[in-house]
Structure formats: structure tokens, C-alpha cells
């Protein structure tokens, strides 16, 4: 079974077949969201920034299936365009975390010694910071805006990636095939790239999926606070912020973006857990 | 506590020192992330040369990096976190003034998380695969994916605006009227606690399931002990350290999450303070709050490290 899983998991399509129904449903949902985000200009009925001050805060109608916001903008269109911004933000943060975290974790686990001691202490210290607070600090330094905010979130997530990469490298390092590669005279770089990295990718893939959910929630929080996406661009967090301002007169405004965040974060988490079961057969019993 | 346990605790206490030093370095290095000349960037667009000079002097920007850090650390150790660039107020005083409301809602949220999470996690593990377990596991999944500030908005809408049960926003003074302060803290703490309950249920359930599958629990069954006694008297002992670890992580998580919750409920805590300051580029306050938060987390972890040997004698090494 393990061999089958390991070989099959190399192709995304085969991986889909091995997932349970929850994982497949989540993957399909996320795929639809990504497509909706990419095709926003084609499928959104209105522009996300066109104002219609006569029809402000309208309830749902045939013309506006989710109503209009405080500037008369179509909520459905803003939701669809916001999908792109929110998903871009999540993927950016996780990409930054991976690019920083994986090499550092690999180096610490593979070379050990004083390098590992120092890196491990730094990881411990960085993990002591409440994530959002450190992200606000970094955003405050880099300057406000969606890209800066998500780079900040990526930096904050990187020690988590580094810790997992280090732990997995420690396990792989003592395998026989690493010794064999070394005996044949491979350089450390070659061993790391060709033998260690491919063997730690699967647990990393699980963690990256779970981090996408955390990054999505972080984007929502930072944009809500005004540190992320800047008006008039739509993102789910920014839409919630406007909904909050007009909560007393139009409480229904907070439901479309709220459910979008909840369902997407839930889908990332469920997909991550399903991937974990497929990629780590030892866990299947539980 | 025995002598060995005391030694273990003291040793763990010492290990906190390098973490604190690296944490101070991270807080200090935040300034290095400011693009361009930090003095000019932080002073803003219409700054006078005097204002720029003032910031340069504040951070010793014309000195080598190591000297800058040394000076900053020396001041921070004496409780001097510089002054606000906007109002000139003392940052340490500002943080101490804003700390009580934050600590109150985080503490209440911890209490709610543990009070609901522990029984729910235990029941879930005992009735594995049953209706209650299915519901609790599903709720935990939702709780982790739920933006807590959105939950806060929903709670305000239903319990404060549409039905006037709780106050919508604000905070009460803990010293003048503790009951009123708790009343104000209830909705924010409840919004914060949703993620906490979910985390505790998941971790406790999975840790308990592992223990319940073990050999010694089978022996207890064979002895004729009731399932309830096995869990509460024996299995809970085995998962107490997991629970401690989760509680520590939870404190960290809630301290971060409270920032957005404070914005929703208009609570004058250090979360609101850091958001306001980050937008206004009032960097000494941003650094001060990040520093305070990480010190609180490290202190919390230290307390938990000291408690480990008491809950689990096997940790004594």
C-alpha cells in the first residue's frame, strides 16, 4: 500500500483518486473558486467598483442577487472579484513561507551541529510571537497594502515550515540511500536536492494546504483592519469591514463574504486532512 | 515538589533566556524592514528636517547596527520603550494603560475554551464514532475555519443590536466595577473562544483515543472499571501534558486573535493600539506592543514548563 501511495502521489490526478469523498469535494470546490477568481471579468455581472448611489444597501433582487453595498456596488460581483484577491493573498503568503522555510529547515536538519542549534533557537523564538501581531509589525514596517501584508504573513509562517522540514530531514538523513549517495561522492547540495527534498515533500504538501486556510483567515483579518487590501479594491476581508460599518442598517451585508471565507478555509483544512491520510498511511487507523 | 522536579523547573527556566534575547533581536530588526531611510519613511510626507532628525536620534540610526541594538535593548530592559512619534506619550505607560482589557478578554476566552473544550473532547473520545462525536468533530472543523471576528459581528447583531441583551461595544473598568467589566467582556471572549474550543476538542480527542487504545487501558477494562472511571481517573492523567501544551499554544493564538476582536468590539486594549499605530506609522508603539505580546507568551510558556513535572513525573529528567 505504501509503495502504491508513494508512486501514485507523484501525479496530482492520481492523488485525487486516492482522496476520500470529503477531500475530493473540497478539491472540486477550491478548483471552482480558483476558476471563478481567474474568470472574474467574464462571469461577474457588474464591475466591482462601479457605484450606483441611487441603489445603496439594496436587499437581494433579480438584478443584484446578493444586493448592493453602501456605495450601490453589486455584492455578487465584488464577491467574485474578491475571490481572486483573497486566493492570491493566501497562495502568496504560503509561497513566501515555503521559499524561506524549506531551505532553512533542510540546512538545519541535514548539517546539524551548531547551525541546527542556532536555527532551532531562532525558530523557537519566532514561534513565540502571536502570528497576527508579528504580521502587523512587519506590515507596519514594510508599508500597508495587500502584497506587503501577505509577504509579512509568509515571513511569520516560515518558521512553521522550517520546523517541519527540519524534523523530516532528520528522519530522511539517516536512511541508507543517503549514505549510498554520499559513498558515490555526491555533494551535499546534490544529496539535498535529489534525495532529501523529494522525500520530505509529502508532509510539506499537507502543511502547505493547512497553511493556505490560515493565510486566508490572516488576509481577512488584515484587510478587515485596513492593513491589507486598500479601497476600492475588493477582498473578502475588506467587504466584511464595510459590512461592519453598516451593520446596524444592513446586517445582511456581512453574510456573503463571511460564508465565502468560512467555506474556503474549511475546504483547505478538509483537503489538508484528507491528503494527510493518503500520504501518511500510518495515520489511517485513527 | 521534589528536589529533582525543582531542578528540572529551574533548568527549563534558564532555557528561556536565549529565546528572550532572540525575540528582542526580532523586535529590534523590524525597523530594518522599513524601506529606504527609516527616519524619512517614518517621519511621513510633510515632515520637517527636525522631525527626521528626532527619529534618527531616537533609534541611533547614524550608529552601527550592533550599537543601535545594544542601546535599544538597554533601554527596553529598563522599561523604556521610547515615546510615541505622534503624541510624544511614553510607550511603556501607554501599553500598561491598555493592557488590562486585553488580558481580561484573553483570560475569559481561555476559561471558556477549557470549560467547554475539555468535557466535549472527552465525551467525543468516549463515544467514538457516535452521534455526539460526529457533531463535536464537525463543529471543531467549522470552529477552526471560522473567522472569529465574523462570529463577533454575528453575535453583536443578534445579541446586542436586535435583542438588547449584551452591550455591543466598549469595555468596563475592572477596578471600579468588576462585574460590569466581565459583562462587557463576555461577547468578545465568546467570539475568541470558538477557535479555542475547536482546537482543544481536536487535540484532546486524538490524544485520548491514543491512550484508550493502549494496553494498560485494556487491563483496566478487564479489571471491571467503568469507562467513565477509566477516562477521568487514568486516561486523563496521560493526556494532562498534551492539555498543558495545547493551553500554552492557545494563549499565544488568543493573544493574536484578540487584535481583530478588539477592533470589532471597540475595546481600548493593546490590540487596538497596535493597529492604530501601524496605520499611523507610529513605529515605537508597534515595536512596544509586539515586544509586550511576545514577553507575555514567553512568560506563559515558562509557567507551563514549570508545571509539566507536576502533572507528569516522567518529565523529571
pLDDT tens for B16-45 read 888 889 999 999 888 888 887 778 777 777
Mean pLDDT of chain A: 86
Contact criterion met (CB < 8 Å) for A125 and B22:
yes
Give the pLDDT confidence score for residue B315 in this predicted structure.
63
Contacts of B137 in chain A (CB under 8 A): none
Minimal CA separation from A139 to chain B, in Å: 8
User: Are the CB atoms for B309 and B5 separated by under 8 Å?
Assistant: yes
Q: Which of A125, A136, A144 sits opposite B259 (nearest CB)?
A: A136
3-state secondary structure of B76: helix
Contact criterion met (CB < 8 Å) for B275 and A225:
yes
Nearest CA in chain A to B261: A221
Q: Identify whether A243 is part of a domain.
A: yes
Q: Which of B23, B149, B257 sits opposite A224 (nearest CB)?
A: B149
For chain A, give the percent of residues with pLDDT over 70.
91
What range does the domain containing A212 cover? Answer: 2-42+67-285
- What are A69-95's pLDDT values in tens digits? 777 788 888 899 999 999 999 999 999
Interface of B with A in 275-294 (CB under 8 A): 275, 277-279, 281, 283, 286-287, 289-290, 293-294
Identify the CATH number of the domain in which residue A189 sits.
Answer: 1.10.3720.10
For testing contact with chain B, the best of A147, A212, A225 (most B CBs within 10 A): A225
The domain total for chain A is 1
Region of poorest pLDDT, from A203-212, B93-102, B211-220: B211-220
Question: Is the Cβ of B59 closer than 8 Å to some Cβ of chain A?
Answer: no
User: Are the CB atoms for B95 and B270 separated by under 8 Å?
Assistant: yes
Q: Identify whether A250 is part of a domain.
A: yes
Question: Is the Cβ of B156 closer than 8 Å to some Cβ of chain A?
Answer: yes
Is pLDDT at A219 greater than 90 in this prediction?
yes
CA torsion sign for B133, B137, B143, B146 is negative
ipTM of the complex: 0.88
Q: Identify whether A50 is part of a domain.
A: no
Mean pLDDT, rounded, for A4-14? 56
Q: Identify whether A51 is part of a domain.
A: no
User: Are the CB atoms for B258 and B192 separated by under 8 Å?
Assistant: yes
Q: Identify whether A58 is part of a domain.
A: no
Is pLDDT at B232 greater than 50 in this prediction?
yes
3-state secondary structure of B123: helix
CA torsion sign for B88, B90, B93, B95 is positive
Q: Identify whether A55 is part of a domain.
A: no
Q: Identify whether A109 is part of a domain.
A: yes
Distance CA B35, CA B41 (A): 7
- Domains and their CATH numbers in chain B: 3-77 (no CATH), 100-268 (1.10.3720.10)
Q: Of how many residues is chain B composed? A: 317
Q: Which residue has better confidence, B82 or B298?
A: B298
Contact criterion met (CB < 8 Å) for A138 and B33:
yes
Give the pLDDT confidence score for residue A92 in this predicted structure.
96
Contact criterion met (CB < 8 Å) for B30 and A140:
yes
Q: Would you call B117 exposed, middle or buried from its count of C-beta atoms within 10 A (0-12, 13-18, 19+)?
A: buried
User: Are the CB atoms for B149 and B260 separated by under 8 Å?
Assistant: yes
Contact criterion met (CB < 8 Å) for A144 and B278:
yes
Q: Identify whether A90 is part of a domain.
A: yes
Tell the residue number behind the cell numbers 494527510, with chain if given.
A276
pLDDT level of residue A286 (50, 70, 90 thresholds):
very low
Q: Output the pTM of the full model.
A: 0.89
Give the pLDDT confidence score for residue A73 in this predicted structure.
82
- What are A153-192's pLDDT values in tens digits? 999 999 999 999 999 999 888 888 888 888 888 888 888 8
3-state secondary structure of B90: strand
Question: Is the Cβ of B157 closer than 8 Å to some Cβ of chain A?
Answer: yes
Minimal CA separation from B135 to chain A, in Å: 16
Minimal CA separation from A285 to chain B, in Å: 11
Minimal CA separation from A128 to chain B, in Å: 6
Distance CA A102, CA A161 (A): 6
Contact criterion met (CB < 8 Å) for A140 and B298:
no
Instruction: Give the rounded distance of the alpha carbon of A117 from its chain centre.
Output: 29
Nearest CA in chain B to A222: B260
Residues near A241 by beta carbon (within 8 Å), at least 6 away in sequence: A223, A224, A225, A226
User: Are the CB atoms for B102 and B188 separated by under 8 Å?
Assistant: no
Amino acid at each position: 500500500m505504501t509503495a502504491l501511495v508513494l508512486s501514485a502521489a507523484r501525479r496530482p490526478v492520481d492523488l485525487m483518486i486516492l482522496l476520500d469523498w470529503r477531500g475530493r469535494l473540497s478539491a472540486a470546490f477550491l478548483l471552482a473558486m480558483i476558476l471563478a477568481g481567474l474568470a472574474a471579468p467574464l462571469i461577474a455581472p457588474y464591475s466591482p467598483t462601479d457605484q450606483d448611489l441611487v441603489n445603496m444597501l439594496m436587499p437581494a433582487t433579480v438584478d443584484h442577487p446578493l444586493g448592493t453595498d453602501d456605495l450601490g456596488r453589486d455584492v455578487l460581483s465584488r464577491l467574485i472579484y474578491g475571490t481572486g484577491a483573497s486566493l492570491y493573498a493566501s497562495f502568496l503568503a504560503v509561497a513566501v513561507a515555503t521559499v524561506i522555510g524549506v531551505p532553512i529547515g533542510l540546512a538545519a536538519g541535514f548539517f546539524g551541529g551548531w547551525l541546527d542549534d542556532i536555527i532551532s533557537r531562532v525558530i523557537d523564538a519566532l514561534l513565540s510571537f502571536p502570528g497576527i501581531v508579528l504580521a502587523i509589525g512587519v506590515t507596519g514596517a514594510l508599508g500597508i497594502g495587500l502584497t506587503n501584508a501577505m509577504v509579512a504573513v509568509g515571513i511569520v509562517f516560515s518558521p512553521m515550515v522550517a520546523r517541519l522540514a527540519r524534523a523530516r530531514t532528520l528522519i530522511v538523513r539517516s536512511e541508507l540511500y543517503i549514505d549510498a549517495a554520499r559513498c558515490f561522492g555526491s555533494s551535499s547540495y546534490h544529496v539535498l536536492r535529489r534525495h532529501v527534498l523529494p522525500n520530505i515533500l509529502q508532509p510539506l504538501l499537507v502543511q502547505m494546504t493547512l497553511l493556505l486556510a490560515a493565510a486566508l483567515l490572516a488576509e481577512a483579518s488584515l484587510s478587515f483592519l485596513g492593513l491589507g487590501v486598500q479601497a476600492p479594491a475588493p477582498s473578502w476581508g475588506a467587504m466584511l469591514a464595510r459590512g461592519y460599518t453598516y451593520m446596524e442598517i444592513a446586517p445582511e451585508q456581512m453574510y456573503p463574504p463571511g460564508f465565502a471565507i468560512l467555506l474556503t478555509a474549511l475546504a483547505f483544512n478538509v483537503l489538508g486532512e484528507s491528503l494527510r491520510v493518503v500520504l501518511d498511511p500510518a495515520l489511517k487507523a485513527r | 515538589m521534589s528536589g529533582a522536579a525543582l531542578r528540572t523547573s529551574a533548568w527549563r527556566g534558564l532555557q528561556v533566556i536565549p529565546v528572550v534575547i532572540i525575540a528582542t533581536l526580532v523586535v529590534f530588526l523590524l525597523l530594518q524592514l522599513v524601506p529606504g531611510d527609516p527616519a524619512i519613511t517614518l517621519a511621513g510626507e510633510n515632515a520637517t528636517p527636525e522631525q527626521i532628525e528626532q527619529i534618527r536620534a531616537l533609534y541611533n540610526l547614524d550608529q552601527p547596527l550592533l550599537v543601535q541594538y545594544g542601546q535599544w535593548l538597554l533601554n527596553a530592559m529598563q522599561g523604556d520603550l521610547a515615546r510615541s512619534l505622534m503624541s510624544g506619550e511614553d510607550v511603556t505607560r501607554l501599553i500598561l494603560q491598555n493592557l488590562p482589557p486585553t488580558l481580561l478578554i484573553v483570560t475569559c476566552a481561555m476559561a471558556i475554551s477549557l470549560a467547554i473544550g475539555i468535557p466535549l473532547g472527552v465525551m467525543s473520545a468516549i463515544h467514538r464514532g457516535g452521534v455526539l462525536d460526529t457533531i463535536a468533530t464537525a463543529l471543531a472543523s467549522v470552529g477552526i475555519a471560522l473567522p472569529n471576528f465574523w462570529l463577533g459581528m454575528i453575535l453583536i447583531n443578534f445579541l446586542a443590536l436586535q435583542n438588547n441583551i449584551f452591550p455591543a461595544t466598549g469595555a468596563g473598568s475592572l477596578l471600579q466595577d468588576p462585574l460590569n467589566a466581565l459583562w462587557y467582556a463576555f461577547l468578545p471572549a465568546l467570539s475568541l473562544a470558538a477557535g479555542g474550543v475547536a482546537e482543544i476538542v481536536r487535540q484532546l480527542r486524538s490524544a485520548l483515543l491514543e491512550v484508550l487504545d493502549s494496553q494498560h487501558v485494556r487491563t483496566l477494562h478487564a479489571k471491571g472499571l467503568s469507562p467513565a472511571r477509566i477516562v477521568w481517573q487514568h486516561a486523563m492523567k496521560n493526556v494532562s501534558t498534551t492539555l498543558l501544551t495545547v493551553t500554552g499554544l492557545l494563549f499565544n493564538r488568543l493573544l493574536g486573535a484578540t487584535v481583530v476582536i478588539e477592533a470589532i468590539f471597540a475595546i481600548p486594549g493593546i490590540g487596538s493600539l497596535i493597529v492604530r499605530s501601524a496605520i499611523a506609522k507610529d513605529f515605537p508603539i508597534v515595536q512596544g506592543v509586539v515586544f509586550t505580546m511576545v514577553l507575555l507568551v514567553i512568560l506563559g510558556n515558562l509557567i507551563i514548563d514549570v508545571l509539566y513535572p507536576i502533572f507528569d513525573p516522567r518529565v523529571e529528567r
